[in-house]
Chain A
Amino acid sequence: MKPIKDLFIKKNNIRHKVTFFTTILLICLMIGYASFFFITLEFSKNFNAMFNQSIHLKSIDNRMSMFESDLETYLNTKDSDSFIAYLDSFNELESQKKLLNQGLSYNDNQLLINNISNIMDEYLTLSQKAIEYKRARNTKKYIETFNDVERLSGYVDEIMNQINTIEFSENLQDYVLLSSRIENLKIVFVMITVAIIMLSIVFIYDFTYKITVPIKALSEYAKEISKGNYNIEVKSESYYQEADVLINTFSDMALSIKEYIAELKGKVETENKLRIAEIENLKIQNRLKNAELIALQSQINPHFLFNTLNAGVQLANLEDADKTSEFLINLSSMLRYNIQSLKNTVTLKEELENVKSYYHLMKVRFDDQLVFNFDIDDSAGDIMMPPLILQPIIENSLIHGFEDKEEVGIINIQVKETKKGVEIIIKDNGKGIEKAKLNKLNSLEYDIYGEEKEHQGHSTGLGLSNVYQRLKNFYNSKDVIFIESELSKYTEIKINLIKNEVTHV
């Protein structure tokens, strides 16, 4: 619960303002009504007291008359009924006397009532004495005493009249004095009511104005936002906290929308970039497909080709043509290796076997003009790798390195284990690569279209770019190929096969 004082002290809050105003209104009306109620109540109490007192005194007066009548009858006739009636009245008056005796008072009427009580005391005593004188047959005395009783009764009557006169005059005085004040109060109360009505009108006007102004402003801001203008400056005219909250929330909302749209634009840009990357990826895959297509083209009727080659081998054996037989076996072996899917995984040993078959075939073609030197670490033969990696590289040396070269072409193939895996170095003594081109190749910028033409001489139809992409995807590493070259001297290609980090893509 919040402290009550907050209800009244906190400003610019609709709930507090309405509560405060209603409370003030109710208090004003309550004070007005309470005043009237109180005055009316006091007046009625006063008049009731006056009338009750008059009625009471009148009843005592009547009883005293009856009492004197009964006493007189008894004194004259000694009638027992009158005596009984006298006794009843005596007891009644005795009790009334006690009731009237409230002691001394500063109030005039109360003092007179007290006097009545004291006189009644003597009055009743004298009545008893009169009876005693009657019984003693002292006629003169009982008549004198009865006269005294009547005289005292007269005193009581006089005092009662005095009381009524005083009471009436006091109340009349009060009435005259207070009625003018009450008339004034009536006018004041009408003025309070009119002032409260005016205050209510002013309050309602002010209240509705302060509520509608921010709402109107917000609707204008909303229109601006609907037009796409998010750069609006929301002015906070501080009327009520609730309106402030609404304006601030609206302002925050506008800001959030602005930020969200900016974020959305960023996302769209990122998605576009991703789409471009995806398209690039698709292009790469397309190239792979093309490579596979080329490979498949070379698989046209492979059974026929292999059967024919086997027939050739058998014919060579029958004619004792051993070299021919060996040639055909190598050819058959290389073709079988080449037509396998590029998605296959082979061991380095299998890849080297294929290179050897290729060498034997090329040896028949180039004889002593071509020499392959193998320096193989046998323990590295089991490492897994994609197929047809080494043959395209060696073919590149034959096609580009030894082109227009009259010297013996030597290709050194070195395989050695490293910490990370296996390093394959293929080094030729060809014409080398121009520095600019070499840098481009080491920057992995393979000229794909340029390569397409150069693939024409390849048995596999695969270029360096294809080799690189497959190795990169296979090992999930970019550091798979590095080329060194010196123009007219050599070209050395290092291939890194990575152990235990094989990732098939």
Chain B
Amino acid sequence: MNKIKIIEGILISFIVLLIAYTVNETIVIQKNISNNDIGAHEKKPEYHFVVISDDVESYSWTTFISSVNDEAKDKSIVIEIYAINDLNDKSEIEKAFEIAILSKVDGIMMKLTDNDTVRDEILKCNDMGIKVITIGNDSPESNRDAYIGTNKYNLGKISASLLTLQGQQKQDVLLILGSEYKENSGASSNNYLNGIHEEIVQNDLINKLYVEYASEKRADLIVNDSLYKDHIDAIICTDPIDSLRAVKVLIDLNLVGDVDLIASSNLPEIIEYIKKGTIQSSVVEDYEIMGETSVEVLYQLLNDKRQSAYINIPISVINKESLGLVD
């Protein structure tokens, strides 16, 4: 009879486990289904912000928008994203701004390269009483309410200064600008390049500077082609994904140590490469703080609180020294 009791116990335990699994799965499924209907149950947001950006794929964007969404949720703000595919398509920019104005949004966070169309649209927004802030790329001549971002000039200077530390001879440098930098347009690119040039002039250590845009060609292809075509001593990448792609090429071509790499961001993979010596250093723009600050500034502006028109996000450098790996 004890055997029967053991069998009964096993079967009952088994059924209980299966039932628990069923209940758990039902709850998970129910949660998944009800997530689609979240707006119907949760508290309604107080403000409606729109982010208009020409860069919705880069690492900087992903980090930035994630931070924006987190901060917005805390402040009862709903975020809508309008992606601009072609900065040169004036109608696309106008349409994005018009829909935002017609939709009666409370604020616009503009992450676009500055141009005349953008400035005109900012003016229209001003007329409609919609607050506009620029992020990453400033539009200083527009009536934007505030700018939040890093100083691209300083960023360029810092990146170049890291190069000068690598050796005493003049170097041939490949600069790969990420998708947030556009060729022949926008102050960001110019400022960044100016910063680099300033540093080159000051230290007179760079022989040749090759400038390439990742928005036009994949970074790994750029690196590969440049290494075959030209003599390259160092590579500077402004985008973390581009940096990782460049590392892969250097490893494949067995050029680690021969070609220095200045990367971007504090991604764990990049930090790991710095520890190994594959990447010499990395310049970090904190997009997370940029996202938080953007929402906070726009929110404060809507609540009639004065905000600084230029909010600088600090830049930091990661290398073996900062990681405590060098005495």
Contacts and interface: CB of A to CB of B under 8 A. Distances in A.
B80 interface: yes
Contacts of B14: 195
A106 interface: yes
Interface stretch (A138-146, A186-194, A264-272, A407-415): A186-194
Contact of B15 (A28, A106, A152, A171): A28
Contacts of B47: 104
Nearest to B34: A42
Nearest to A115: B103
A118 B104 contact: yes
B44 interface: yes
Interface residues of A, number: 50
Interface stretch (A174-182, A300-308, A310-318, A475-483): A174-182
A174 B19 contact: no
Contact of B30 (A42, A171, A192): A42
A23 B249 CA distance: 67
B300 interface: no
B36 A189 contact: no
Given A170-B36, A177-B32, A106 B22 contact: no
Contact of A155 (B30, B44, B99): B99
Contact of A181 (B12, B28, B78): B28
A9 B98 CA distance: 71
Given A195-B18, A202-B8, A104 B29 contact: no
Contact of B18 (A39, A46, A170, A192): A192
B19 A106 contact: no
A339 to B, nearest CB: 93
Given A38-B30, A155-B95, A104 B44 contact: yes
A178 B29 contact: yes
Nearest to A120: B102
Interface string A446-487: 000000000000000000000000000000000000000000
A103 B22 CA distance: 37
Contacts of A118: 102-104
Interface in A404-430: none
B33 A115 contact: no
A107 B33 contact: no
Contacts of B326: none
B40 A107 contact: yes
Contacts of B211: none
Nearest to A237: B1
A205 interface: yes
Nearest to B103: A115
Given A191-B18, A192-B22, A202-B8, A105 B45 contact: yes
A152 B23 contact: no
A39 B26 contact: yes
A224 B280 CA distance: 101
Interface string A39-61: 10011001001000000000000
A110 interface: yes
Q: Which of B18, B21, B23 has the most C-beta atoms of chain A within 10 angstroms of its own C-beta?
A: B18
B23 A35 contact: yes
A199 interface: yes
Interface string B267-308: 000000000000000000000000000000000000000000
Given A104-B48, A105-B78, A182 B103 contact: no
A14 B19 CA distance: 26
B309 interface: no
A119 interface: yes
Contacts of B103: 114-115, 118-119
A195 B29 contact: no
Contacts of A159: 99
Interface in B214-235: none
A185 B20 CA distance: 11
Interface residues of B, number: 41
Contact of B33 (A24, A28, A111, A174): A174
Contact of A111 (B22, B78, B95): B78
Given A152-B102, A195-B15, A32 B22 contact: yes
B42 interface: yes
Given A31-B22, A103-B44, A182-B29, A122 B102 contact: yes
A106 B36 CA distance: 10
B37 interface: yes
Given A103-B44, A185-B25, A110 B102 contact: no
A211 interface: no
A171 B32 CA distance: 10
Contacts of A24: 12
A106 B21 contact: no
B38 interface: yes
B25 A42 contact: no
B107 to A, nearest CB: 13
A196 interface: yes
Contacts of B34: 42
Contact of B19 (A28, A115, A206): A28
A145 B88 CA distance: 26
A88 to B, nearest CB: 24
A103 to B, nearest CB: 5
B8 A46 contact: no
A114 B102 CA distance: 11
A203 interface: yes
B188 to A, nearest CB: 30
Contact of B29 (A42, A49, A155, A199): A42
A318 to B, nearest CB: 120
Contacts of B30: 38-39, 42
B103 to A, nearest CB: 4
Interface string A117-142: 01100100000000000000000000
Contacts of A488: none
Contacts of B46: 104
Interface in B74-102: 78, 80, 95, 98-99, 102
16 contacts: A38-B26, A46-B36, A104-B48, A106-B73, A109-B39, A155-B98, A171-B36, A178-B32, A184-B25, A185-B22, A188-B22, A192-B15, A192-B22, A195-B18, A202-B11, A209-B1
Interface of B: 1, 4, 7-8, 11-12, 14-15, 18-19, 21-23, 25-26, 28-30, 32-34, 36-40, 42, 44-48, 73, 78, 80, 95, 98-99, 102-104
Interface of A: 24, 28, 31-32, 35, 38-39, 42-43, 46, 49, 103-107, 109-111, 114-115, 118-119, 122, 152, 155, 159, 170-171, 174, 177-178, 181-182, 184-185, 188-189, 191-192, 195-196, 198-199, 202-203, 205-206, 209-210
